[in-house]
Amino acid sequence: MPAPAVRTFRHSEFPVDALVDAKGDRRVSLVLPAHNEAPTIGPIVAAVRRHLMKRRSLVDEIVVIDDASTDGTPARAAGAGARVVAAADVAPEAGPGSGKGNAMWKSLLVTDGDIVVWCDADVRNFRPCFVTGLLGPLLTLDDVAFCKGFYERPLDGVRGQGGRVTELVARPLISLFFPHLLPFVQPLAGEYAGRRDMLEQVPFVQGYGVDLGLLIDVVEKVGLSHVAQVDLGIRVHRNRPLDELGPQATAILHTGLTRAGLSTRPDWLPVLTRPWLEPEIVEVRERPPVAELPASRAQLA
C-alpha cells in the first residue's frame, strides 16, 4: 500500500510581504545550534537580520545556542547581531548533556517565539528563503503544526550524491519500521520549524538522532495531516568524510530502533567500535518534553 501523501510546497510560494501580513501578533524565533561554525555563522545571522528583521519584520529574534565551540563561533555570531547562549549555561540542574539535540531542547527554554525555526549553522549558501519557506505553511495554514525542509545536496559539486547517511541508514529504517514517513524527501534535514505549544509536548534526542526522532514523534503526536514539507532549493554545506559519519549513523539507527520498540535499553550509550579508530561513545540520551519539566522555562533559563 502506498504511503499517504504529505503536503509539499516550494519556498517561492511564500513571499516575505505576504508572510509578514499573515504573521499578525505572533512571534518568530530563529535558532542556530552551533559547534565550531565560525566560517558560516556570521553570514547566516547577517543575512537574516538584513532581509527578515530590518527590511521586513518577520523574525523577532535570532538565538545561537553554542555547544562549547573553540573556534570563535560565539564572537562571530554576536558580532553579526545574534543573541548567543552557551548550552552549558541553560538549565544545568537538568543534568549533563551534549550534541545538537541537547542544544535544540535548551533553545526552547531561552526563546519566546510562538513559532520556532531551526536551521543548521554550517550552510555555505544560506538564503533567507530557508527561513521563509519553513514559515510559509505555519503562518498561512492554521492546521500545520510542523514543517520540514528538503533540498538538493551536492557532494563535491556533484548533484544527487549528498545525503549518504539518509540513503544508507535513515531511509532503510523508515521503509522497514515507519513506512508512513516515506513521503518525506529528507527525513534528516536540519531545517525545520514548528509551533511552540506542540514542540514542548515531545522529547528531544540529544545527539545526531534528533532530526529523525522529532519527525517520528511529531507525526505520532499530531498526525501526518498536520505536517508539511517545503523544497528549499539547493543546500551547500560541510560534507564530512566517511569516518566521521559513523557516529551519526549509529545515533540515527539507535533512535529509529528505540521508537520501533526494538531497543530494550533506550538510555544506554552505544559505543561505536572500528578497527582503525578509538572507540567512540555516541550520545543518544533524551531530554523530556519541556511541558513535563517541574519548573517553568523562566525558572530554568
pLDDT in tens, 240-277: 666 778 889 999 999 999 999 987 565 678 899 989 88
83 forms beta bridges with: 63
What predicted TM-score, i.e. pTM, was given to this entire model?
A: 0.92
- Separation CA 87–CA 80 (nearest Å): 19
Q: With a cut of 70, which residues of the chain have pLDDT below it?
A: 1-4, 153-162, 237-242, 264-267, 295-301
Topology adopted by domain 7-300: Spore Coat Polysaccharide Biosynthesis Protein SpsA; Chain A (3.90.550)
Q: Please give the single-letter amino acid code of residue 115.
A: I
Q: Could you tell me which of 66, 52, 165, 209 has the C-alpha nearest to residue 117?
A: 52
pLDDT at residue 124, as a whole number: 87
- Separation CA 262–CA 29 (nearest Å): 36
Q: Are 260 and 212 in contact (CB under 8 A)?
A: no
- Separation CA 96–CA 124 (nearest Å): 31
- Separation CA 253–CA 88 (nearest Å): 27
Summarised one tens digit per residue, pLDDT across range 215-237 is 999 999 999 999 999 999 988 75
Q: Could you tell me which of 7, 234, 258 has the C-alpha nearest to residue 127?
A: 234
Q: Are 49 and 81 in contact (CB under 8 A)?
A: yes
- Separation CA 207–CA 97 (nearest Å): 9
pLDDT at residue 298, as a whole number: 43
Cell 540529544 locates to 206
pLDDT at residue 164, as a whole number: 81
Structural domain boundaries in the chain = 7-300
3-state secondary structure of 172: helix
Q: What are phi and psi of 149, to 5 degrees?
A: -90, 155
Summarised one tens digit per residue, pLDDT across range 8-19 is 999 999 999 999
